[in-house]
Chain A
Amino acid sequence: QLQLQESGPGLVKPSEALSLTCTVSGGSITNSGYYWGWIRQPPGKGLEWIGTISYSGSTYYNPSLKSRVTISEDTSKNQFSLKLSSVTAADTAVYYCARLRPQWPEDWGQGTLVTVSS
């Protein structure tokens, strides 16, 4: 059974970079037919797509975040990662990683809360 687990710091200082990793078990991130992505949800608010990486390593980013986002993969560890630079309080959110079909998230991680605060 596929499992996704987010990991990374829960507290990031303003202007610094947020880095999260999603570890996938029960399936390979290089399996064609699936893409992998990040979605976030500010406390008490709705969902926002951040970006996607394909099984071949192609990336797609939300235009509103594109200048600050990098998604990468480590196929040897079956992981993919998110880096969001120059964070502000507005980036405080629960960050989810997900397996995509490829245009909708089919399986989700449990999410990890990242707070931006000094």
Chain B
Amino acid sequence: EIVMTQSPATLSVSPGERATLSCRASQSISSNLAWYQQKPGQAPRLLIYGASTRATGTPARFSGSGSGTEFTLTISSLQSEDFAVYYCQQYNDWFLWTFGQGTKVEIK
């Protein structure tokens, strides 16, 4: 099983600042990575797939990068609606997905 490790567990950021979230895979997953945003009481929402392709409706301030084992989600200028938990998911193995444990982005 591919283990996904996200860091940090919690990120405290002021509105308007840049946020950088990391996701590491226990083995190479090429670019087979997606990012999700989850707000309290809501289902996750797809933000990024293919490590760097924004899903329909994802604002341009969200960008994904990386390949192999190291990945980054960057939020260029945090808006109030961006405070949430973010998960990465690998899908390198056909239907043997695994998710990271999440990074909570909170208001500083």
Quick one: which of B91-108 are within 8 Å of A by CB?
91, 94-102
Residue in B closest to A111 when the chains form the complex, CB atoms: B43
Q: In whole Å, how far is B5's beta carbon from the nearest beta carbon of chain A?
A: 12
Query: Is A106 part of the binding interface, using a Cβ–Cβ cutoff of 8 Å?
Result: yes
Q: Which residues of B contact A106 (CB under 8 A)?
A: 46, 55
Q: Which of A13-21, A26-34, A77-85, A97-105 contacts B (4 or more CB under 8 A)?
A: A97-105
Q: In whole Å, how far is A88's beta carbon from the nearest beta carbon of chain B?
A: 21
Counting residue pairs across A and B whose Cβ atoms lie within 8 Å, the total is: 48
Query: Is B71 part of the binding interface, using a Cβ–Cβ cutoff of 8 Å?
Result: no
Residue in B closest to A46 when the chains form the complex, CB atoms: B101
Residue in B closest to A45 when the chains form the complex, CB atoms: B101
Query: Is B87 part of the binding interface, using a Cβ–Cβ cutoff of 8 Å?
Result: yes
Contacts A47-B44, A109-B43, A111-B43; A104 near B89 (Cβ below 8 A): yes
Mark B33-55 against chain A: 1 for CB-CB distance below 8 A, else 0.
Answer: 01010000011111001000001
Residues of A within 8 A of B (CB-CB), count: 19
Query: Is A92 part of the binding interface, using a Cβ–Cβ cutoff of 8 Å?
Result: no
Query: Is B65 part of the binding interface, using a Cβ–Cβ cutoff of 8 Å?
Result: no
Residue in A closest to B101 when the chains form the complex, CB atoms: A46
Q: In whole Å, how far is A93's beta carbon from the nearest beta carbon of chain B?
A: 13
Query: Is A75 part of the binding interface, using a Cβ–Cβ cutoff of 8 Å?
Result: no
Q: With A and B bound together, what is the CA distance between A96 and B44 in angstroms?
A: 9
Q: In whole Å, how far is B78's beta carbon from the nearest beta carbon of chain A?
A: 22
Q: With A and B bound together, what is the CA distance between A56 and B105 in angstroms?
A: 39
Q: In whole Å, how far is A48's beta carbon from the nearest beta carbon of chain B?
A: 7
Using a CB–CB distance below 8 Å, which chain B residues touch chain A?
1, 32, 34, 36, 42-46, 49, 55, 87, 89, 91, 94-102
Beyond contacts A47-B99, A49-B98, A107-B46: 8 other A-B pairs, Cβ-Cβ < 8 A, are A46-B99, A47-B36, A49-B95, A96-B44, A103-B32, A103-B91, A104-B34, A108-B45
